[in-house]
Structure formats: structure tokens, C-alpha cells
């Protein structure tokens, strides 16, 4: 154990792999020292585990109806009670983790790279390229996220895939703005001048030298935005434009529970808790990552 | 000569991944109303010494000393509030780069007035009069115009002179200047030092000049401390620096190229420990 | 043959002209210094030659070939630049190895790490630094990496922008010795920008004194050592220069 640690912390690594692993080890150690970040990481980990092992964690089927058992309060049999069709809310919340995780991952995979690349190109080239790209970005930014997503879902038709596409379309401009701002500060630095002087193509400069430096602020931002994405997805579900029944999407579940909120509070509250906790988890993790990855703070160990 | 500042066994410690590291290791000095130079290379702890006198070392750094007395006041025992009253009013500090030390969204006049007001209650006309006089003292032409300018509208040399004006207007007893001229051109450098010197002499201030530049310090101070890796390796009268005894000081002196250079190779210091 | 000839060079930043009618010629194998205070336009001349500053008129000829504004891949193999700030000129997330391999990759030079080893050795960097990140290096080591990066393409002309002014005197001495040795071993031509006349005296054969974007005097290093510069501004610079005879 001690030897692995020494190997990772070696000041003079002897291979590329060791240098990279050493950096990763240092960063994760710094992250571990931040209690809130660890809470966030645990929550996110729990979400991932719940999504992966849903069939084993859930106590009932998330979609089988049992009208005889409708609207039962939380009990030993039904940990979070049952909804108006007699479905176990705990099981639905657990399966809902899959949908939430899928939305979050797909939006991150679709929106973040697009925003990153557009922002970096705009920032690096400047001039009219910048003006056109940022003009488009501004048009998207000037509309509220939920309304924009709403408009796209309305045009594409309700459904979970369309909701994901709509949220991705609504989120990339934010990333493009950050990436551009970051690129502007990096573009004039001497290490970029130095590779340009060696004859590197613009493509090479952007991909190899600028993007890696933007990516840490992007990871932080995406993590912090996860909460917003979950809320937007829940919002779409709530107004019936996201996941369609009988899919156990958290927002849609709250929407269904609305009619019983006064007498059967658990129907709407339990998925609400799930949303709050997971959103908080991503926020904590994002804050922790900022402390560790931000070049102004990190890398001093 | 009554001592203005007495330091005994000053230690500044920072925690790192490999345990605590002392960046200043038991420094002692006594300062009267004189000009003391602290020289050393980066990492020698010279700036940390200057900052620790004002208790400007941020957590997790820690300052300890057997004695840290300024004009009879035990600096380590002061509360943060008492310390703020001492900073500026009685001990001032000039930093290296005026660009980062001046507030970019306040006019120069407002910043100098603020420095004055924090420590004294004065009427509006008095403030303006004192501010103008101070700017004149640091040889700024047309001070009335400069009062209304923002920091980005003045040159580096002028910015540094403004910083000095700000630091000196409450008439402190001790001025700590940390590399006050290294961001400036040589001709401006001479001017700025002359201004500080003049004020030190006229007002009888104590001065601690922290610098990496041996030539500058030896030409300008009364006494010199040479620091290396947190320790004082040599203390001498400035004019005697040429006859320094410690091999490190001699090595530093020899490594400076001269205007009439005819050596084929410059002598280099032997580094026994891994340089950080 | 002349390594670098500059004729009637005017460089602009936006509307304002930074240099006026610069003429100079650097012989192959020579070490030439551009001296002046900040704002004299000395760094801008280097940036125009390298291709970073692009709006200029006049002519720049390097090794018999006329330069056009902008960066040129072919020229990159003949001429490289070393920047002033060793903290800003290295990519903070790349190891020494990655920084030094990049130029080889750009020019499609097949290599299995030998050339990186070789250049590290020639600038006096131990093998164990190869996979370190810049924050794990001292200022002097970083500047050695920057010099190695400039040398790995085996250029003939090196543009040096205040290569030692951000360093401690003892480290400055090491880097100056290194630059002197490299020039002797590899037959390099230097064009160096500096404000430190003593550095010129140690490393250069000739110098041009610049003020407000114009060259006021061209002199030999011998003249400098004897204090025999003619222009009143040059003499003023010598007078303010901190170094003195021992």
C-alpha cells in the first residue's frame, strides 16, 4: 500500500502513465479532504448504484397496478406508500433513478462537448467567426431554459428522447459562453504562442492545447448544472411533456400526486425528496470539484 | 538608539502534503530608524518575513516568535481589529506590482483619501490639500488631474509612485517595501527609490526594503541581511557587502554579470539540496 | 551570409505605429541584442519576425528568404523563440515530455523519445524531470524546458525575449552560461531582447539601442564594455545600469 502511494506521489515519474495516475491520485485525495464534496459524491454514487441495480433494490414492480392497495401510507410493506394505481412508490423512485441518470448523462454528452467546441472556436478565431457563433448563442441564451425546452418538445412531440434533445438544445449555449471566455484568456498566453510558432495548425492548437484547459471548468459547470437539468426534466415531466406514463419519472410522479397532496402527501413528496437530494448531491460534488480542479486553487500539492 | 522593531526567533510555517515546512526559520533582528535591506533569492523567505511583521500571512500559514514588538507593542498579541489600526497608520507596506494593489474601479484621489480617512478624521478640503501635497511629494506633475484618473490610465512608474503616496500619507513609523521597483524601468526605479529615501530621511521613518537585487540594496540601505532558505546567512553594513564572508553571499555577487564582462563563464552556486 | 536582415520595418498595433523605420542586419552565428526600456518596441520587433505580430510594412529577410506576415511552418524549423516568463510559456497541464514531443508531432518527425532525451541532456535537464508537470519544476528548470522546446526542431536562429529577467541571479547565471554554450556548440544565431546591459555584455557581440520605436544607436559589445556608446540616451542607460566594476 505504502509503495503504491509512493509510486503515485513520486516527484519524478518515469512514464507518461505514472505522471497521469499521480495527478489523478493527488486530485482525488484533495477531493476526499472536502466533506461536502464527499457527501455529494456518495449521493451521486448512490444514484448510479440505484440505477444499475434497480431490479434488486426495488421491492415491487414499478408498473404493475394493484388497485386494491391504492394510496396506502408508508409501511413495512410499502416503504414510501403507494400511488393512486396501487404501485409501490419506493420501487418507482428507484427505477426513476435510471431515467434521471439517463437524462443527465445524455444531456451532458450532447450539450457539453458541443458548447465546448463552439465556444473554443469562437474564442480562438475571434472576428466574424466569433460574432456569428456568439450571436447564435445569445439568441438561445435570451430565452428561459424551460420555455425553450417546452417549445422544442411541443414541436418534436412529447416523450423522453425528445425531452432530452430539447434540454440539450437549451443548455449548450451556457457552455459555449464559458468555453469562449476561458479560451480568450488562454489564447494570448505564451504557451499558445509557442506552439503556434512551431507551426501547429489551428485545429491542433484548439484540440491539444486549449480544450484540455477549458475542460476542468466545464466539468465543474456541468456538475453544477446537473441539478438544473434534473429540475428541467422534472418540470417537463410535470406538465406532461417529458416521460410518458407508465414510466416512473420523478417529475411526472409529482404531477400525478398533486391531486392527493392534502390527504395522501407521500405520493408527491417522496419523488420530490429524491429530486432535492440528487440535485443537492450534484451541487456539493460540483463545488468540491471546483475547489480541486480550478487552476487558481488546485495543483499546489 | 531606541529600537523601533524587535524580532526574536521568528518562524513562519506552512503545512504541506509532506508535513509542515518552515519558510522562515528563527529569524531575529532589531531595527531602529534606519534603512534595512533584506536580500535573497525566491523562496528564501524574505517576503514572508516582511509580511509576517504585518501579520499578513494567510491561513494555513502560521507565524510564531519569541518576540515581535513594534514600538513597545506586542504585534502577536493584537486582535485583528487592533492590527488593522496599526496597518497603514503606523506600519505601511508597498508591494511589487501597482497593477494588482490599486483598486481598478476607484479613482486615484478616492483611494488616497480613503487611506487617509481610515486612520484620521479630516474635513473635505483638508483631505484634498493633503492628497495633493502627497502626490507632489512623490513628484507627480499636475496632481489635480491625476486625482481624477483611474489606475489603468497611469503608467507603471506613476502607479508605483501613487502606491507609495497612499502608503505614506498616514505618516507611518515603519515602511516595508517588498520589491517596490522590480516591475519598473531602471530610470524610473532610481526616481522611486529617491522619493522613498527622501521621505525616510525627512520623517525619520524606519524602512525595510525586501529585494532580490543585491546591487540595489547595497547602494541604498544602511544595513543588509542576506537570507537563504529561511535563514539569515549574513548580516553586514551595506557598504561592506563587497567584502562579504559567507560563501553564499559571495556566490551571489559573483553570479551577477558586469557591464564590462570578460569572464567566459559565470560562476554558479552549487546546489546541494533539490531546488524547489 | 546574413542570418537576418530587416529593412524599413514599421509595425502597427491597430491604428498606432509601434516602431519606425527599423533597419538592422544580423550575421550568421552572431549574437545581437535589442536594448531599451519598456515601450521602446523591442519585443514587438521579435514578435514581427516570429510572425505573432502580423501588421507590418517593410522587409524581413531570414537566411535569404523574404518573410511574409504571419507564422510559417517552414520558417518554424529555422527560427524559434524563447519567452520571458517561464511560468506562462509552458502549458500547465502538460508534462515536460509532452511539451517537447509536440513540435516533433507537428512536423511529423518520427521519433521514439531519443530526440527528447538528447535535447534535455543538451540543456542540462536530468532524465528524471521528463514526466514532471511545470508546477513541479523551479523557474530555472522551466526556462531550460522552454529553451529545449525551442531547440528540438534544430533551428539556426533563436529569438530570445528577456530570457532571464524573471529569474534569480544565480539561476540567471546558469541560463546565461547555457545559452552561451549552446550557441558555441550548435552554431546558433541569437537575437535577444533585454533591458539588462550587463547581460548583453556577457552574451552578445553587438547591440542596438531602441527608444520610442526607433533605433538610436548600433554599437559593438566592446564599445559597451568600454562605456563608449555615443548617443546621449544610450549613455543614460549605462549610467542607470546597476552593475559596476568590482
Supply the pLDDT for residue B41.
Answer: 86
Would C84 be classed as within a structural domain?
no
Would C63 be classed as within a structural domain?
yes
Q: What is the mean pLDDT of chain A?
A: 85
The structural domains of chain A, ordered by start, are: 31-59+87-293 (1.10.3720.10)
Identify the weakest region by mean pLDDT among B161-170, C22-31, C71-80.
B161-170
C47 and C9 in a common domain: yes
Report the residue of chain B nearest A6, measured CA to CA: B18
Closest CA of chain B from A15, distance in Å: 21
Cα C245 from Cα A167, distance rounded (Å): 72
Cα A116 from Cα B183, distance rounded (Å): 37
Would B263 be classed as within a structural domain?
no
Of C154, C180, C206, which residue is a domain's last? C154
Would B187 be classed as within a structural domain?
yes
pTM of the model: 0.84
Q: How confident is the model at residue C245 (pLDDT cuts 50, 70, 90)?
A: very low
Cα A108 from Cα A106, distance rounded (Å): 5
Among candidate residues C215, C195, C191, C194, the one with its CA nearest the CA of residue C205: C191
DSSP at A301:
-
Q: Which residue has the higher pLDDT, B257 or B1?
A: B257
Would B20 be classed as within a structural domain?
yes
Which residues, listed in sequence order, are joined to residue B237 by a DSSP beta bridge? B223
Would C197 be classed as within a structural domain?
yes
C174 and C57 in a common domain: yes
B95: CATH: 3.40.50.300
Cross-chain CB nearest to C106 (options A193, A198, A213)? A198
Would C85 be classed as within a structural domain?
no
Contact B268 C177 (CB under 8 A): yes
Contact B187 C201 (CB under 8 A): no
C210 and C104 in a common domain: no
C146 and C205 in a common domain: no
Q: How confident is the model at residue B271 (pLDDT cuts 50, 70, 90)?
A: low
Closest CA of chain A from B18, distance in Å: 9
Would B58 be classed as within a structural domain?
yes
Supply the pLDDT for residue A298.
Answer: 42
Q: What is the mean pLDDT of chain C?
A: 89
Q: How confident is the model at residue B183 (pLDDT cuts 50, 70, 90)?
A: confident
Contact C238 B267 (CB under 8 A): no
B16-29 b/e (C-beta count within 10 Å ≥ 16 → b)? eeeeeebbbbebeb
B91 burial type by CB count under 10 A (0-12 exposed, 13-18 middle, 19+ buried)? buried
Domain region containing C104: 91-154
Contact B16 A9 (CB under 8 A): no
Domain region containing B38: 5-255
Supply the pLDDT for residue B162.
Answer: 86
Residue C203 has pLDDT above 90, yes or no: yes
Would B275 be classed as within a structural domain?
no
Q: Is B117 on the interface with C (CB under 8 A)?
A: no
Phi, psi angle pair for C54, to nearest 5°: -110, -15
Contact B109, B131 (CB under 8 A): yes
C47 and C166 in a common domain: yes
Instruction: Name chain B contacts of A9, Cβ cutoff 8 Å.
Output: 17
Residue C16 has pLDDT above 60, yes or no: yes
Would C149 be classed as within a structural domain?
yes
Supply the pLDDT for residue C190.
Answer: 95
Q: What is the mean pLDDT of chain B?
A: 84
- Pairing relationship of beta strands C56-62 and C206-211 according to DSSP bridges: unpaired
Mean pLDDT of B225-249: 88
Q: Which residue has the cell 529555422?
A: C78
C208 and C105 in a common domain: no
Mean pLDDT of C100-119: 88
Selected for mutation to probe chain B from C172, C202, C225 (highest B CB count within 10 Å) is: C202
A neighbours by CB contacts (3+ pairs under 8 Å): B, C
Would B265 be classed as within a structural domain?
no
ipTM of the complex: 0.87
C204 and C100 in a common domain: no
Contact B153, B142 (CB under 8 A): no
Identify the weakest region by mean pLDDT among B167-171, C53-57, C208-212.
B167-171
Would B272 be classed as within a structural domain?
no
Supply the pLDDT for residue B209.
Answer: 92
Supply the pLDDT for residue B274.
Answer: 39
C108 and C44 in a common domain: no
| Neighbour count for residue A97 (Cβ, 10 Å) | 23
C232: CATH: 3.40.50.300
Would B273 be classed as within a structural domain?
no
Q: Is B185 on the interface with C (CB under 8 A)?
A: yes
Instruction: Name chain B contacts of A301, Cβ cutoff 8 Å.
Output: 16-17
| Residues whose CB falls within 8 Å of the CB of residue A177, separated by 6 or more in sequence, listed in order | A115, A119, A134, A137, A141
Supply the pLDDT for residue C104.
Answer: 92
C74 and C19 in a common domain: yes
**How would DSSP label each residue in B185-252?**
-HHHHHHHHHHHHHHHHHHT-EEEEEES-HHHHHHH-SEEEEEETTEEEEEEEGGGGGG--SHHHHHH
Of C135, C154, C173, which residue is a domain's last? C154
Instruction: Name chain A contacts of C48, Cβ cutoff 8 Å.
Output: none
Between the alpha carbon of residue B62 and those of residues B21, B29, B30, B53, C172, the distances in Å are 10, 19, 21, 12, 32
Interface of A with B (CB under 8 A): 9, 301
Helices C139-151 and C114-122 pack at an angle, to 10 degrees, of: 120
Cα C59 from Cα C216, distance rounded (Å): 20
Cross-chain CB nearest to A189 (options C84, C88, C133)? C88
Structural domains counted in chain B:
1
Cα A184 from Cα A38, distance rounded (Å): 33
Structural domains counted in chain C:
2
| Per-residue pLDDT tens over the stretch A192-223 | 999 999 989 999 999 999 998 888 888 888 88
Residue A295 has pLDDT above 70, yes or no: no
Contact A153, A236 (CB under 8 A): yes
| Neighbour count for residue B4 (Cβ, 10 Å) | 20
Determine what percent of chain B is predicted with pLDDT higher than 70.
96
Q: Which residue has the cell 418538445?
A: A153
| Neighbour count for residue A193 (Cβ, 10 Å) | 21
Cα A87 from Cα A91, distance rounded (Å): 8
Instruction: Name chain C contacts of B269, Cβ cutoff 8 Å.
Output: 170, 173
Joined grid coordinates for residue A276: 432535492
Instruction: Name chain B contacts of A296, Cβ cutoff 8 Å.
Output: none
Of C111, C127, C154, which residue is a domain's last? C154
Would C245 be classed as within a structural domain?
no
Cα A253 from Cα A166, distance rounded (Å): 20
Residue A273 has pLDDT above 60, yes or no: yes
Amino acid at each position: 500500500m505504502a509503495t503504491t502511494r509512493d509510486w503515485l506521489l513520486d516527484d519524478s515519474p518515469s512514464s507518461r502513465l505514472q505522471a497521469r495516475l499521480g495527478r489523478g491520485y493527488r486530485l482525488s485525495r484533495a477531493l476526499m479532504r472536502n466533506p461536502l464534496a464527499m457527501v455529494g459524491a456518495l449521493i451521486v454514487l448512490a444514484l448510479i448504484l440505484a440505477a444499475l441495480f434497480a431490479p434488486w433494490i426495488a421491492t415491487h414492480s414499478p408498473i404493475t397496478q394493484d388497485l386494491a392497495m391504492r394510496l396506502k401510507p408508508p409501511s413495512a410493506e410499502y416503504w414510501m406508500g403507494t400511488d393512486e394505481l396501487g404501485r409501490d412508490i419506493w420501487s418507482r423512485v428507484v427505477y426513476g433513478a435510471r431515467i434521471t441518470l439517463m437524462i443527465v448523462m445524455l444531456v451532458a454528452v450532447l450539450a457539453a462537448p458541443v458548447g465546448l467546441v463552439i465556444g473554443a472556436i469562437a474564442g480562438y478565431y475571434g472576428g466574424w467567426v466569433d460574432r456569428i457563433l456568439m450571436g447564435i448563442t445569445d439568441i438561445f441564451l435570451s430565452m428561459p431554459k424551460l420555455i425553450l425546452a417546452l417549445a422544442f418538445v411541443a414541436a418534436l412531440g412529447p416523450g423522453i428522447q425528445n425531452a432530452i434533445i430539447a434540454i440539450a438544445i437549451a443548455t449548450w449555449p451556457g457552455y459555449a459562453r464559458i468555453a469562449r471566455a476561458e479560451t480568450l484568456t488562454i489564447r494570448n498566453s505564451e504557451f499558445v504562442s509557442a506552439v503556434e510558432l512551431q507551426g501547429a495548425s489551428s485545429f491542433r492548437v484548439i484540440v491539444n492545447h486549449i480544450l484540455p484547459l477549458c475542460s476542468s471548468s466545464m466539468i465543474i459547470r456541468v456538475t453544477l448544472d446537473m441539478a438544473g437539468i434534473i429540475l428541467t426534466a422534472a418540470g417537463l415531466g410535470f406538465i406532461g411533456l417529458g416521460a410518458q406514463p407508465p414510466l416512473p419519472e420523478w417529475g411526472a410522479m409529482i404531477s400525478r400526486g398533486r391531486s392527493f397532496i392534502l390527504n395522501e402527501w407521500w405520493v408527491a413528496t417522496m419523488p420530490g425528496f429524491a429530486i432535492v437530494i440528487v440535485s443537492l448531491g450534484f451541487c456539493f460534488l460540483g463545488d468540491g470539484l471546483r475547489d480541486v480542479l480550478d487552476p487558481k486553487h488546485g495543483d499546489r500539492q | 538608539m531606541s529600537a523601533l522593531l524587535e524580532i526574536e526567533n521568528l518562524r513562519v510555517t506552512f503545512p504541506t502534503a509532506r508535513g509542515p515546512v518552515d519558510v522562515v526559520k528563527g529569524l531575529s533582528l532589531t531595527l531602529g530608524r534606519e534603512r534595512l535591506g533584506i536580500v535573497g533569492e525566491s523562496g528564501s523567505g524574505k517576503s514572508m518575513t516582511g509580511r509576517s511583521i504585518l501579520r499578513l500571512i494567510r491561513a494555513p500559514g502560521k507565524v510564531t516568535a519569541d518576540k515581535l514588538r513594534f514600538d513597545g507593542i506586542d504585534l502577536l498579541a493584537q486582535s485583528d481589529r487592533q492590527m488593522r489600526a496599526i496597518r497603514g497608520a503606523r506600519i505601511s507596506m508597498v508591494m511589487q506590482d501597482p497593477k494588482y494593489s490599486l483598486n481598478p474601479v476607484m479613482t486615484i484621489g478616492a483611494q488616497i483619501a480613503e487611506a487617509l480617512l481610515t486612520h484620521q478624521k479630516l474635513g473635505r478640503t483638508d483631505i484634498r490639500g493633503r492628497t495633493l501635497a502627497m502626490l507632489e511629494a512623490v513628484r507627480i506633475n499636475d496632481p489635480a488631474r491625476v486625482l481624477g484618473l483611474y489606475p489603468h490610465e497611469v503608467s507603471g512608474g506613476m502607479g508605483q509612485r501613487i502606491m507609495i503616496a497612499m502608503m505614506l500619507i498616514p505618516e507611518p513609523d515603519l515602511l516595508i517595501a517588498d520589491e517596490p521597483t522590480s516591475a519598473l524601468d531602471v530610470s524610473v526605479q532610481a526616481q522611486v527609490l529617491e522619493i522613498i529615501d527622501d521621505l525616510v530621511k525627512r520623517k525619520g521613518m524606519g524602512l525595510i526594503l525586501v529585494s532580490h537585487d543585491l546591487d540595489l540594496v547595497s547602494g541604498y540601505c544602511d544595513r543588509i541581511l542576506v537570507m537563504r532558505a529561511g535563514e539569515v546567512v549574513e548580516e553586514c553594513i551595506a557598504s561592506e557587502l563587497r567584502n562579504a564572508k559567507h560563501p553564499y553571499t559571495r556566490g551571489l555577487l559573483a553570479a551577477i554579470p558586469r557591464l564590462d564582462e570578460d569572464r567566459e563563464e559565470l560562476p554558479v552556486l552549487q546546489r546541494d539540496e533539490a531546488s524547489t | 551570409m546574413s542570418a537576418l536582415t530587416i529593412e524599413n520595418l514599421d509595425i502597427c498595433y491597430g491604428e498606432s505605429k509601434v516602431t519606425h523605420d527599423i533597419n538592422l542586419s544580423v550575421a550568421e552565428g552572431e549574437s545581437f541584442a535589442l536594448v531599451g526600456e519598456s515601450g521602446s518596441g523591442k519585443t514587438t520587433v521579435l514578435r514581427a519576425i516570429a510572425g505573432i505580430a502580423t501588421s507590418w510594412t517593410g522587409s524581413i529577410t531570414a537566411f535569404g528568404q523574404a518573410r511574409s506576415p504571419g507564422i510559417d511552418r517552414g520558417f518554424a524549423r529555422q527560427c524559434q523563440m524563447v519567452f520571458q516568463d517561464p511560468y506562462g510559456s509552458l502549458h500547465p497541464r502538460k508534462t515536460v515530455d509532452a511539451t517537447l514531443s509536440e513540435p516533433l508531432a507537428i512536423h511529423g518527425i518520427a521519433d521514439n523519445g531519443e530526440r527528447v532525451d538528447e535535447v534535455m541532456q543538451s540543456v542540462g535537464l536530468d532524465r528524471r524531470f521528463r514526466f514532471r508537470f511545470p508546477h513541479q519544476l523551479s523557474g530555472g528548470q522551466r526556462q531550460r524546458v522552454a529553451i529545449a522546446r525551442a531547440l528540438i526542431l534544430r533551428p539556426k536562429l533563436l529569438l530570445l525575449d528577456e530570457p532571464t529577467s524573471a529569474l534569480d541571479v544565480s539561476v540567471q547565471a546558469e541560463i546565461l552560461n547555457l545559452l552561451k554554450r549552446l550557441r558555441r556548440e550548435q552554431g546558433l544565431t541569437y537575437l535577444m531582447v533585454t533591458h539588462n546591459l550587463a547581460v548583453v555584455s556577457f552574451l552578445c557581440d553587438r547591440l542596438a539601442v531602441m527608444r520610442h520605436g526607433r533605433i538610436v544607436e548600433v554599437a559593438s559589445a566592446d564599445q559597451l564594455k568600454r562605456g563608449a556608446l555615443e548617443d546621449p540616451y544610450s549613455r543614460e542607460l549605462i549610467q542607470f545600469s546597476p552593475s559596476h566594476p568590482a
